């Protein structure tokens, strides 16, 4: 009896972790949709149509001090030079998700 209760308690905890984890990590599936709608026009396949050397690939991000979730999130929010700011256009969750998607793609190689 006690064992059964314990097992269901553990199952509930695990189920909750599963529900919560996408919010911690950023939802890359949603991020991909945000990317297609807002970023791909300049960054198709992780490239950069406006400033060709500033791609979203790991090597470029590292070179320009952008290879972290924080730096990417910050630039999406505030923009930089020819890249527009997205804060106001996208909400905080959208920005978090698209940043997580970009970072994951850079890691695994577009
Ligand atoms: C109008 C074109 C345009 C759009 C739309 C755009 N960007 Fe950019 N992006 C740029 C330009 C230009 C740069 C280089 C800025 C600089 O450093 O001067 C850049 C740079 C970046 C960088 C840093 C790349 C590096 O190597 O330093 C990231 C990350 C990035 N963009 C992500 C995004 C994301 C995510 C979106 C969508 C939410 C987005 N961008 C939308 C033009 C754009």
Give residue-wise pLDDT tens across range 17-40: 555 444 456 899 999 999 999 999
Given this model, what pLDDT does residue 21 score? 47
How far apart are alpha carbons 93 and 5 in whole angstroms?
Answer: 36
Given this model, what pLDDT does residue 36 score? 98
Condensed to tens digits (0 to 9), the pLDDT of residues 36-80 reads 999 999 999 999 999 999 999 999 999 999 999 999 999 999 999
How far apart are alpha carbons 56 and 107 in whole angstroms?
Answer: 10
Pocket perturbation via mutation, ligand 1, pick of 40, 75, 98 by most ligand atoms within 8 A of CB = 75
Of the candidates 85, 69, 74, the residue with the CA atom closest to the CA atom of residue 24: 69
Condensed to tens digits (0 to 9), the pLDDT of residues 77-94 reads 999 999 999 999 999 999
Given this model, what pLDDT does residue 71 score? 98
Nearest-CA residue for atom 40 of ligand 1: 39
Q: How confident is the model at residue 104 (pLDDT cuts 50, 70, 90)?
A: very high
Given this model, what pLDDT does residue 19 score? 52
How much is the CA Rg of the chain, to the nearest whole Å? 18
- For residue 52, give both structure tokens: 């060709």
């Amino acid at each position: 009896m006690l064992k059964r209760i314990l097992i269901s308690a553990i199952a509930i905890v695990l189920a909750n972790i599963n529900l919560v984890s996408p919010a911690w990590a950023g939802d890359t599936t949603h991020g991909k949709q945000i990317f297609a709608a807002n970023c791909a026009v300049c960054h198709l396949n992780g490239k950069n149509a406006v400033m060709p050397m500033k791609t979203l690939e790991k090597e470029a991000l590292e070179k320009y001090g952008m290879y972290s979730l924080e730096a990417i999130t910050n630039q999406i929010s505030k923009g930089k030079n020819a890249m527009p700011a997205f804060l106001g256009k996208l909400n905080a969750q959208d920005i978090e998700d698209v940043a997580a998607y970009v970072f994951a793609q850079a890691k695994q190689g577009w």
